[in-house]
Amino acid sequence: MVGLARAITDASEGLGSDATAIALDQESILLLMTHDWRSARHRSMRVGVQAGAQPVVVVGSRHFAAVLSLALGEVDDARALVHEAGAALDDVPEASSPFFTTLTVSAVVDDRGAVPRPVAEETMLLGRVVGAAQARGHLAVAAALTERLGGRTDLALAPLDDAIARFTALGDTFGLGYALGQRGHTLRWAGDLTEALACFDAAEQVHRSLRDLRSIAMAVAGRSYVAALLGEATIARRDVHEAVSMMERTGDIAGVGHTLNIHGLIEMELGAVDAAVPPLERALLLADRGVTPIYAIGWEYLLVAHLRHTLGDADASARAASEAAVRFDALGDRRGQRALQSARKAGVVTMRS
Separation of alpha carbons 335 and 218, rounded Å: 26
Dihedral sign computed on CA atoms, order 39, 36, 81, 25: positive
* pLDDT at residue 194 in the model: 97
Separation of alpha carbons 227 and 245, rounded Å: 18
CA dihedral in degrees (270, 273, 275, 278; nearest 10)?
Answer: 130
* pLDDT at residue 39 in the model: 74
For residue 274, what are the contacts with CB-CB under 8 A and spacing of at least 6?
A: 311
Q: What are phi and psi of 343, to 5 degrees?
A: -65, -40
* pLDDT at residue 95 in the model: 87
DSSP state of 36: -
Give yes or no for a contact between 75 and 148, defined as CB atoms under 8 angstroms apart.
no
Let me know the angle formed at the C-alpha of 233 by 231 and 235, rounded to the nearest 5 degrees. Answer: 110
Per-residue pLDDT of the chain (353 residues; tens, 9 = 90+): 444 445 444 444 443 445 666 677 777 777 776 667 677 777 776 765 554 668 988 898 899 889 989 999 999 999 999 999 999 999 999 888 998 989 899 999 999 999 999 999 997 656 688 999 999 999 999 999 999 999 999 999 999 999 999 999 999 999 999 999 999 999 999 999 999 999 999 999 999 999 999 999 999 999 999 999 999 999 999 999 999 999 999 999 889 999 999 999 999 999 999 999 999 999 999 876 655 667 889 999 999 999 999 999 999 999 999 999 999 998 889 999 999 999 999 888 887 66
Ramachandran quadrant class, 251 (left: phi over 0; alpha: psi -120 to 50; beta: rest)? left
Separation of alpha carbons 338 and 110, rounded Å: 14
Separation of alpha carbons 329 and 44, rounded Å: 21
Q: What are phi and psi of 102, to 5 degrees?
A: -70, 145
Burial of 184 (0-12, 13-18, 19+ CB in 10 A): buried
Separation of alpha carbons 81 and 141, rounded Å: 13
* pLDDT tens readout for residues 237-272: 999 999 999 999 999 988 999 999 999 999 999 999
> Pick from 182, 190, 186, 225: which is nearest to 206 by CA?
182
Ramachandran quadrant class, 14 (left: phi over 0; alpha: psi -120 to 50; beta: rest)? left
* pLDDT at residue 83 in the model: 97
Domain boundaries, the chain: 1-53
* pLDDT at residue 293 in the model: 66
> Pick from 221, 215, 214, 222: which is nearest to 196 by CA?
222
Residue type at position 123: T
Q: What are phi and psi of 327, to 5 degrees?
A: -70, -45
* pLDDT at residue 47 in the model: 66
